[in-house]
Amino acid sequence: MIPNAAPYKAHVNGFDFDKLKTMLTQSGFSNVVKSGYKQSSLAELKEDRFDNRPTISLYVEAIK
């Protein structure tokens, strides 16, 4: 349960790259890399329509 004094009551869990990389690796993903806005290795993920939050998103790519 989220305490009433929590500054971000809408979020139960937060992810940073290290936490997400650990979870992805444990789930069988490999080549887990931190990417960036419009820096994907896939052309379609570099398009404007993919994301409109360049400064608040965590971009991670992995292979399974």
pLDDT in tens, 17-51: 999 999 999 999 999 999 998 898 888 888 888 87
Q: Is the pTM higher than 0.75? A: no
User: Please, are residues 14 and 50 in contact by the beta-carbon 8 Å criterion?
Assistant: no
Q: Residue ranges per domain, the chain?
A: 17-63
